[in-house]
Amino acid sequence: MGWVRGPGMELVAFYQGWYGERIIKHLREQAPDWAIWAIKLRKGLPSLPDEETDLLAQEVMKELPREAVGADLALFLHEEPGASLLMPEVARRAEVRALICPADDYRVLPRGLELQLSEELMSVGLLFSFPRPFCSLSRGPGPIGDFAERFGRPELIVELDGHEIRSVRVLRGAPCGSTHYMARR
């Protein structure tokens, strides 16, 4: 999916599958002033011992363009628990300031694994958020808060004419695009 350069936030999205693609597409449409890089993670990643995690993190980093290193924010849009284990090492190597990992499915990111990853991310001084679901994000520190100003828990202004909706203005939309889609209808 490549990258888009803009004067605003720099964001790198690590994703698996169509849902991640959908989110990235929506972010690019709604934040054309942001630089957004997308790195596809392969599927079928098993729960791995540390030495294999290191090798897979190296593999992922080969796909990351040099200009994406040091981005403000990483999104980790994964669909398998094995991919979760790459998160701290990939974020560290990518030198991002903050990380958002939506935890919409407990099978993909169980609470115990979330706690383990939280400890690892804290130990390297990384800001992070695990919103459950992604569209519940409303604020956060640093780049997470900047992201949440535009994407997260929907905020709308609805103009009524009697009992009919006259117009809908999206102040903050769900990252998946559902809010903007419904507002256009």
Q: What phi and psi values does residue 3 have, to the nearest 5 degrees?
A: -145, 160
User: Would you tell me the crossing angle of helices 111-123 and 87-94 to the nearest 10 degrees?
Assistant: 30
User: Would you tell me the crossing angle of helices 50-63 and 87-94 to the nearest 10 degrees?
Assistant: 40
Specify the pTM.
Answer: 0.90
What is the per-residue pLDDT for 3? 45
Cβ atoms within 10 Å, residue 124 = 10
- 7 band by pLDDT with thresholds 50, 70 and 90: low
Segments making up each domain of the chain, as ranges = 3-150
Q: What is the pLDDT of residues 116-128, one digit of tens each?
A: 999 999 999 999 9
3-150 CATH, one of 3.40.30.10, 2.120.10.30, 3.40.50.720, 3.40.50.2020: 3.40.50.720
Mean pLDDT of 29-48: 89
What is the per-residue pLDDT for 6? 46
Q: What is the pLDDT of residues 66-102, one digit of tens each?
A: 999 999 999 999 999 888 889 999 999 999 999 999 9
Exposure letters 62-89 (e unless 16+ CB within 10 A, then b): eebeeebeebbbbbbbbbbbbbbbbbbb
Q: What is the dihedral of CA 56, 58, 63, 68, to 10 degrees?
A: 120
Average pLDDT in the chain = 91
CA distances from 52 to 48, 57, 78, 110, 120 (A): 6, 8, 18, 21, 17
Statement: residue 59 has pLDDT above 90: no
